[in-house]
Amino acid sequence: MIRSQHVLILMLSLVSASRLLGKHLIKGKLDDVLDSSRDFPKHHSKAHEKVQAITLRYNKQATCDWPTGVCTYIYDPCPPGKERCPQNDDGCSLSTNHCCCNKQHRGEVSSKQTPPTPPTATCDWPTGVCSYIYDPCPPGKERCPQNDDGCPRPTNHCCCNERHRGEGESSFCFQSVYVRARTGDKILTHYSSGDPSLVFILANREKLTFELPGFLIERDEFEYEIPFSDEITSCVSLSEIDEIHLEHSGDDIEVQSISTSVTIGNQTEHQPLTSDPHLNKMLGPHWYKSARLTWAVEDTPSCGYGEPSCECNATAKSCTFNLVIDEIRTFASYQKLSVNNETKIALRAAKGVVFSFGDDGIPVPLTNGTTCSEYKNSNCTEPQFVDGKTYRLGIAVNGQIPGPTLIIHEGQEVLIRVHNELTSEGISIHWHGIHQKGTPWMDGVGQVTQCPIGPSSSFSYRYIARPSGTFWYHSHSGAQRTDGLYGALIVKENPRRLPNITKVLGDFQDLPGEHTLNLIDWQHEMSLDLLTQAIGGLGFYPDKRLGEVPTPDDEKYTSTVSFDNARIGPVPYFSGLINGKGRHSDVEYKKSRLSIFTVEEGETYRFRLVGAQGMYAYKFSIAGHKLTVVATDGYFVNPIKDVDYIILHTGERYDFLLHACNPESKINYVMQVETMESDNTADGPPYPSLGHFGEAILHYKQSDDSHYPDINVPSSIYKSIVKQLIPRKCDAENQCKAVNCPFLHFHSSYNITCVNVNEMLLLEPTPPAELPKREPDSDCENCSYIINFNFEGESGTASANGRNFILPAFPPQTQNKQFYANDGKCDLAINCNPPTPECSCAQVIDIPANKTIQLVFTNAGSARGVHPIHVHGHSFHVVYVGYPEYNDTTGFIENVNSDIHCEDAECTNPGCDPNACTRPRWANGGPPGGIAIHPKTVRKDTVQVPAGGYVVVNYLSDNPGYWFLHCHNELHQLQGMALIVKEGDYQKNHPKAMNKCGDFEISENEFLDFYFSSTFQKK
């Protein structure tokens, strides 16, 4: 087995390569090269000596199989990483013809200690079979996960590679790599002191290095096939390879071109891997020591208007998407700019047409005689009818709200070109859930990891698609996300993992382009308008028409509350959209458009929920159906069956399986999201819901269906579908089940049982290299923080530990020196109770690299509401959740959790609020004893922090960067409930070409010098 950093000396396998592949090497068949009767020209004497040495070293009579392989040759001396086999263990007589094996050896041919044939043991992680039982495991292998090897405990365990692959070949593993290259005439010697190497850099930064013998003939066409699977005992698939390099440290050579191809699994034909027909690089100690090769397989999926999803080819190594961000008005159709440019519209060319719904529910143009007056004209975009009521400005991605679902594959290199066509706003796009390991400057947070993309400007995001799962993309500049700048981002799992997943979950269809649901709470005015009303305590006056000034006679809106009496939203709920479609409560069903999701009876489907809401948590359900929750935030969990409700807040994602059993023998069922608002003014629980919904349709496919869902389920029958809705019965005998409750439990009168986030377990255990400890090292400075998210001061300003986050003038990730030279960084030593101007700043907390980090998110203080907290750059383990005390009679929050103590309670400063919590700490000097972590502890990137409670998360600081940490409630984050986590003292250099931003000032003397200057330059 080849370990990290070991060089594979392929010169030692030339005979084997010839026997297997019959390829040409050094302008002749390998057998001919090794024929000692062949004469070489005198100027090739050095090569002749090499070949003679090769011939003398090899003897085909010896075997050395540890544990089952065959060592075809005798080596003298042994290659690197190997040593002489013990006497009588190689099947050879001792003198010179010894077999060389790995550092621990045991043969199978003539050893006196040949092991007995063990019982067959399966070790399918994911698909292989481990034929032998070893105890202890051989070098480079480890014990398979418990119950994953099909063997009883305690001794006859199956041992697999570190990636837990058995000995059976996977259909996705590399078998051989074929190299073809041409050298130029700029070669200082015909043969150098070393051959070039082909280096595969894996996702975990492990290197697999293969020498390319005989490469250095001047003006030569070189061909060689690497027997990959013979040399590498572990399975390596395309998705696990980040980069491929050609390296050389010997005498200088010129490489004009090089290409590689690969056979995978049982395939016999080669697939293109890399292609550099015009490399034209000098390699060697005086030039380049390494040349990164270009992936040959690239894909640019069509992602134009009207395409709700765009999927990259699974065989492509890299994938390109083009996204255009535009202002549009809802209910309007726009003419496309040109046939050849599917992602731009003639927005400023006055060719749009507004539609409204007629009495029969059919869209009617307000203007006739233009191209777009015809509804669904292929030259025009489709109107975004949203909730059937709101005619307002929105932000579209490729002409639609939400943007198209982007579907890529685990390990692919992704290039997403974003062009900003907004009139006056800068943008940045965050790829929510992607760790951006090694590319922190691609995280997409304006003024933190990059400068915003200015109007009429473009920015290319490039990163590796990891981890896999359900993610999403959205604006991280201003309030653009809830105006439409968001969409789903799906990273499909490596197919090698699926057999082990379906072994537990059963078979299912995974169609993310058809079964991904983007949920959002839609408002009737722009999000920035709402922000400016909510910020600074101004409040919201729902009875006033848009634009009218409130008077003392107008009633100020009071926040609604949840079932535990926690606050929910500072502005009224308006309507809910699923994939950009919905119905306001004032609108007739036939004058709306709902999203339709089609299934076939008897099949099982994977559905994906994306919480894109601005403020409100949603409770999701499907009439007549039970759901099986199988994943959250990109990680599979042990299945939670018979689920009635899935609760998710903004930023969270949940995947579920739907068995399309058609329980009530209907064609259509209502899919519903409902806010967590309740009317708590009643005498006692159960308190009625306020009835704020969003709706979609689950449609069972019929034999006479068309390809268009709107034809199969016209809006004229929406009302009848809803009328057939049988209310879900939750009583003492038929308890309902809800997943991811934002509180400990529903009051018993609701008859709803909660499965909370800390009760979930991962389906696939976390690899040891990614698993943090239970608690940070005791001597680790800055490895633990307690962060309280609340509203402080007289105006109720959103804050983290009393500090109101203000975006810096310079992004610390890309303009680090300017960031630290600027005055806007928070001083963490000052007291922020009461708040002072210095408490409105860019708060940064430091954590060291490569340590276990423990963050405690608390929710204490006078204002009580759930906060969905998101950490960029990582998925964390939820190791503990502390809940408040609840009143047994009402179910309401009575007291905050006593594990957290706020030092503000003892404050005596003038203006100090003793109910604030700007300096939280453990009440008993440390965390409670219930904190635990193990390989199946659930992982997330966004978690709900219960009102009056706290959440403890652990992760490894293995990803240097400046990572944003914030509440994902749009208004809370924009008001300042955020901070930056600086991870590690050393940061990767960002691309030099990234745009710069920041402050500018010119002195009077400089101004006068330029003003009176007579120097002109032609530009």
Distance of CA 836 to the CA centre of its chain: 38
Inter-residue contact 455 to 347 (CB < 8 Å)? no
State how far the Cα of 23 lies from the Cα of 10, in Å rounded to an integer: 14
Q: What is the DSSP letter of 771?
A: P
Inter-residue contact 196 to 212 (CB < 8 Å)? yes
What pLDDT does 1019 receive? 64
Name the token pair of 89. 């263990």
Q: What is the pTM of this model?
A: 0.79
Closest CA to 482 of 441, 440, 523, 439: 523
> According to the 3-state scheme, what is the secondary structure of 283-323?
ECCCCECEEECCECCEECCCCCCCCCEEECCCCCCEEEEEE
Inter-residue contact 224 to 177 (CB < 8 Å)? no
Task: Collapse the DSSP code of 497 into the 3-class scheme (helix H, G, I; strand E, B; otherwise coil) and give the result.
Answer: helix
Which residues, 6+ apart, have CB-to-CB distance to 28 below 8 Å? 38
Inter-residue contact 618 to 654 (CB < 8 Å)? no
What pLDDT does 733 receive? 92
Distance of CA 566 to the CA centre of its chain: 31
**Blockwise average pLDDT, block size 10, the chain, 1019 residues:** 36 34 33 33 35 32 37 47 50 43 39 37 36 45 44 40 37 84 68 77 86 75 86 79 88 88 83 87 85 84 85 88 95 79 64 94 95 90 96 95 97 95 96 97 98 96 97 98 98 91 97 98 93 83 88 93 93 97 97 98 98 98 98 99 98 99 96 97 92 96 93 96 90 96 97 98 97 96 97 85 97 96 92 94 98 98 92 99 97 96 91 93 91 97 98 98 98 96 92 89 90 75
Inter-residue contact 961 to 802 (CB < 8 Å)? no
Please list the alpha-helical segments (H only) found in 67-132: none
Q: Amino acid identity, residue 451? A: C
363-368 long-range contacts, Cβ below 8 Å, gap at least 24? 365/333
First to last CA, the chain: 61
What pLDDT does 818 receive? 95
Q: How far is CA 990 from CA 439, 963, 993, in A?
A: 8, 15, 9
Task: Collapse the DSSP code of 574 into the 3-class scheme (helix H, G, I; strand E, B; otherwise coil) and give the result.
Answer: coil
For the beta sheet containing 290-292, the strands, ordered from the edge strand earlier in sequence to the opposite edge, are 7-8, 207-211, 197-202, 241-247, 290-292
What pLDDT does 861 receive? 87
- Beta strands 207-211 and 7-8 are parallel
State how far the Cα of 639 lies from the Cα of 631, in Å rounded to an integer: 8
- Beta strands 961-967 and 867-871 are antiparallel
Inter-residue contact 583 to 698 (CB < 8 Å)? no
Q: What are phi and psi of 324, to 5 degrees?
A: -115, 130
Q: What is the DSSP letter of 535?
A: G
What pLDDT does 11 receive? 34
Q: Amino acid identity, residue 376? A: K
What pLDDT does 349 receive? 60
What pLDDT does 115 receive? 37
> According to the 3-state scheme, what is the secondary structure of 344-398?
EECHHHCCCEEEEECCCCCEEECCCCCHHHCCCCCCECCCCCCCCCCCCEEEEEC
Q: Amino acid identity, residue 804? A: N
The HSE-up count of residue 92 (CA atoms within 13 Å, CB side) is 24
Q: What are phi and psi of 374, to 5 degrees?
A: -85, 120
State how far the Cα of 743 lies from the Cα of 948, in Å rounded to an integer: 10
What pLDDT does 190 receive? 45
Which residues, 6+ apart, have CB-to-CB distance to 666 below 8 Å? 624, 700, 724
| Cβ neighbourhood burial of 44 (10 Å; 0-12, 13-18, 19+) | middle
Give the position of tokens 């920035």.
Answer: 528
Q: Amino acid identity, residue 174? A: F
What pLDDT does 220 receive? 74
Closest CA to 3 of 123, 162, 145: 162
Would you put residue 14 in left (φ > 0), alpha (ψ -120 to 50) or beta?
alpha
Task: Collapse the DSSP code of 961 into the 3-class scheme (helix H, G, I; strand E, B; otherwise coil) and give the result.
Answer: strand
What pLDDT does 317 receive? 85
